[in-house]
């Protein structure tokens, strides 16, 4: 009896036909994994994508219509959306940085550097908005992390990162204009 109930829970019958999650996984799981792996280049993320694909397929099983396309096409369309969502989420996450990489890429403004460089930098910073200047000074010059700055200011880290991006872009333009004068 339990097997029959479980089998009924895994498939749904509508006017167009049947969608059986177990059969679909057996038939398309490997192909979906290969697709997700080729898209993400990460085995763990590919497994998550396949799992999320079947969760979404299960939730949307009533909308599956065999007369519109094959089950495989429907699942791959769902998988494509899942992979895109995962890749976007990965782009929002900070990338781990090793100490070697950090020291190689860090630019330090030294107090003992040429006075002219400091004057140009401070002039460029003075031309920025207060919000952009605060983020650049705190993170780039004082060495604070975005989480520390978030706790200090109450502004979400994502907003601080956005301010940093646009602030550095504006600072670059301001410094370019300072050099031209």
3-state SS of 77-101 is HHHHHHHHHHHHHHHHCCCCCCHHH
Q: What is the pLDDT of residues 31-78, one digit of tens each?
A: 999 988 888 888 999 999 999 999 999 898 888 888 888 888 889 889
What pLDDT does residue 8 have? 40
What pLDDT does residue 55 have? 92
Instruction: Give the CATH number of domain 109-176; options: 1.10.1130.10, 3.90.1150.110, 1.10.10.10, 3.40.630.30.
Output: 1.10.10.10
- Domain locations along the chain: 2-92, 109-176
Share of the chain above pLDDT 70, in %: 73
- pLDDT band, very low/low/confident/very high, at 16 (cuts 50, 70, 90): very low
What pLDDT does residue 53 have? 93
Which is higher by pLDDT, 164 or 103?
164
- pLDDT band, very low/low/confident/very high, at 96 (cuts 50, 70, 90): low
pLDDT of 9 strictly over 60:
no
Q: What is the pLDDT of residues 136-179, one digit of tens each?
A: 888 888 888 989 989 988 999 999 999 999 988 988 888 887 67
| CATH architecture designation of domain 2-92 | Orthogonal Bundle (1.10)
């Amino acid at each position: 009896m339990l097997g029959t109930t479980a089998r009924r829970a895994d498939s749904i019958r509508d006017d167009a036909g049947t969608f059986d999650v177990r059969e679909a996984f057996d038939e398309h799981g490997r192909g979906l994994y290969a697709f997700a792996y080729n898209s993400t280049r990460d085995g763990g993320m590919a497994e998550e994508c396949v799992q999320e694909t079947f969760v979404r397929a299960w939730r949307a099983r009533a909308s599956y219509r065999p007369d519109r396309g094959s089950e495989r096409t429907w699942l791959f369309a769902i998988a494509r959306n899942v992979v895109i969502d995962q890749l976007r989420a990965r782009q929002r996450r900070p990338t781990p940085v090793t100490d070697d990489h950090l020291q190689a890429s860090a630019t330090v403004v030294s107090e003992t550097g040429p006075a002219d460089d400091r004057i140009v930098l401070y002039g460029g910073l003075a031309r920025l908005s207060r919000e952009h200047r605060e983020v650049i000074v705190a993170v780039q010059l004082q060495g604070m992390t975005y989480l520390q700055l978030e706790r200090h200011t109450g502004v979400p880290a994502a907003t601080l990162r956005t301010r940093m991006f646009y602030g550095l872009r504006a600072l670059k333009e301001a410094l370019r204009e300072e050099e031209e004068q």
